[in-house]
């Protein structure tokens, strides 16, 4: 079915809940099975910002990729807005649940021969949406991520942070209610990363989407999250869940507050050199 033009603002509608019940993953590797994630329960509220933190190899990406429907759990169930993500016996995710999900990887994975707006609009081509509508929606999103002036640029003309903004806009183009982000700023320098954290917080506040983000950075986790979910060393399991109550919007000076330092120290202690 072809989507038509509508009058919705670019990212109207609030986030949906994610329900993870008994979800675990064992990979069938050549040298024998690898238990990446123990059966895990996690309820993410609509519009909540949850950060997954943990040592390398604890299964953060594995959990996020299962939430995205990219790989299937070995056991357990995932619901997106109350709809099961995996319905049958096979590993194929349900299309209606998938439509709620946008995914951002560490690398922007842009097509170098496409202009910014055509990279952002790429997912709409498969839906058969016409050029004028694709450009209209891509333009709105480019403006939302601060790239309104760069619609006709090519990726190589953009900095790393700008390229990642394009990737975020592309993940939002089909109006998902949930944004899943795997180390989205891991490859950026510290200053650009700060800017991107502020942009992401604003985007999240303006759109009301649910966000689940994976990071290695304790301070990024505390800055962004409503809740930090700490996973233990492989095989991963939930070791701790921390509420982060700083007022929104947060600015970068929040990291100078004693409570911020306390949370970072607490998490560092929990990780105990595992990172
Ligand atoms: N396709 C795969 N086949 C076999 N083992 C895998 C596969 N993918 C991941 N693993 C293993 O599962 C475990 C969890 O991997 P995962 O990438 O989820 O961890 P992570 O916490 O995201 O790590 P990092 O922080 O280093 O990115 C690791 O031991 C990894 O080697």
Secondary structure of 96-158 as H, E, C letters? HHHCCEEEECCCCCCCCCCCHHHHHCHHHHCCCCCHHHHHHHHHHHHHHCCCHHHCCCCHHHC
Which residues, in sequence order, are bridge partners of residue 135? none
Pocket test for ligand 1, best of 25, 36, 215 (most atoms within 8 A of CB): 36
Between the CA of 113 and the centroid of ligand 1 the distance, in Å, is 32
Closest Cα to atom 7 of ligand 1:
27
Residue spans of the domains in the chain: they are 18-100+176-271, 110-175
Which atom from ligand 1 is nearest to the alpha carbon of 25? Answer: 12
The whole-number pLDDT of residue 6 equals: 46
Pairing of strands 49-53, 210-215: parallel
Distance of CA 35 from the midpoint of ligand 1 (Å): 9
User: Which three-class secondary structure state does DSSP give residue 177?
Assistant: coil
Q: Which atom of ligand 1 is nearest to the CA of 62?
A: 18
The DSSP code for 246 is -
Average pLDDT over residues 14-39: 93
Residues with CB under 6 A from ligand 1: 27, 29, 34, 36, 54, 56-62, 216, 234
CA of 117 to the centre of ligand 1 (A): 33
Task: Please state, rounded to an integer, the average pLDDT across all residues of the chain.
Answer: 92
Q: Is the pLDDT of residue 254 over 80?
A: yes
Closest C-alpha to 50, from 75, 83, 17: 17
3-state SS assignment for residue 191: helix
Q: What pLDDT sits at residue 10?
A: 46
Decide which of 113 and 13 is more confident: 113
Instruction: Report whether pLDDT(73) > 60.
Output: yes
| Whole-number Å distance between alpha carbons of 138 and 156 | 19
> What is the model's pTM?
0.93
Residue percentage of the chain with pLDDT more than 70? 93
In ligand 1, which atom is closest to the CA atom of 71? 1
More confident residue, 165 or 7: 165
Given ligand 1 and candidates 58, 74, 275, which is best to mutate, with the most ligand atoms within 8 Å of its CB? 58
Give the rounded percent of residues in the chain with a pLDDT score beyond 90.
84
pLDDT value at residue 89: 65
CA of 59 to the centre of ligand 1 (A): 6
| Three-state DSSP state, 269 | helix
pLDDT greater than 80 at residue 44: yes
Query: Ligand 1 center to residue 119 CA distance, Å?
Result: 29
Dihedral over Cα of 145, 171, 53, 217: its sign: negative
pLDDT of residue 113: 98
Give the mean model confidence (pLDDT) for residues 202-229: 96
Select the more confidently predicted residue: 274 or 228. 228
Our mutation pick for probing the ligand 1 site, out of 38, 54, 61, counting the most ligand atoms within 8 A of Cβ, is 61
pLDDT of 274 reads 58
Tell me whether strands 178-182 and 210-215 are parallel, antiparallel or unpaired: parallel
Query: In the prediction, which pLDDT does 235 show?
Result: 86
What is the Å distance from ligand 1's center to 27 Cα?
Answer: 9
Q: How far is the CA of 103 from the centre of ligand 1 (A)?
A: 18
pLDDT number for residue 13? 56
Mean pLDDT for the stretch of residues 22-47: 94
Lookup: tokens for 63: 């959990």
DSSP class of residue 68? T
Q: How many A from CA of 222 to the centre of ligand 1?
A: 23
241 near 228, Cβ under 8 Å?
Answer: yes
Predicted pLDDT at 14: 81
Q: Which residue minimizes the CA distance to atom 20 of ligand 1?
A: 57
Instruction: State the Cα torsion 20-22-27-28 to the nearest 10°.
Output: -130
Q: What phi and psi, each to the nearest 5 degrees, are found at residue 20?
A: -115, 115
Per residue in 78-100, pLDDT tens? Answer: 999 999 999 876 678 888 888 99
CATH of 18-100+176-271, one of 3.30.450.20, 3.40.50.1100, 3.40.50.620, 3.40.50.300: 3.40.50.300
Dihedral angle over CA of 82, 83, 88, 92, nearest 10 = -120
Give kind and range of the element (H or E) at residue 273: none
């Amino acid at each position: 079915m072809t989507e038509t033009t509508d009058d919705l603002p670019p990212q109207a509608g609030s986030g949906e809940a994610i329900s993870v019940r008994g979800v675990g993953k064992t990979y069938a590797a050549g040298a024998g099975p690898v238990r990446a994630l123990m059966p895990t329960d996690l309820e993410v509220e609509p519009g909540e910002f949850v950060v997954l933190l943990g040592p390398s190899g604890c299964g953060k990406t594995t959990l996020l990729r299962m939430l995205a429907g990219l790989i299937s759990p070995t056991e357990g169930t995932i619901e997106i807005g109350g709809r099961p993500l995996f319905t049958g016996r096979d590993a194929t995710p349900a299309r209606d649940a998938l439509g709620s999900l946008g995914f951002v990887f560490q690398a922007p994975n842009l097509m170098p021969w496409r202009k910014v707006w055509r990279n952002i609009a790429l997912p709409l081509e498969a839906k058969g949406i016409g050029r004028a509508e694709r450009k209209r929606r891509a333009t709105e999103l480019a403006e939302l991520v601060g790239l309104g002036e760069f619609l006709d640029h090519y990726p190589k003309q953009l900095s790393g942070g700008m390229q990642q903004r394009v990737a975020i806009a592309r993940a939002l183009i089909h109006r998902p209610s949930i944004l899943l982000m795997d180390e989205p700023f891991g490859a950026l320098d510290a200053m650009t990363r700060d800017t991107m954290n502020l942009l992401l917080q604003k985007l999240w506040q303006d759109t009301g989407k649910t966000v689940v983000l994976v990071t290695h950075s304790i301070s990024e986790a505390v800055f962004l999250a409503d809740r930090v979910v700490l996973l233990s060393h492989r095989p991963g399991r939930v070791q701790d869940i921390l509420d982060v109550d700083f007022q929104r919007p947060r600015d970068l000076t929040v990291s100078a507050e004693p409570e911020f330092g306390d949370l970072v120290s607490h998490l560092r202690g929990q990780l105990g050199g595992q990172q």
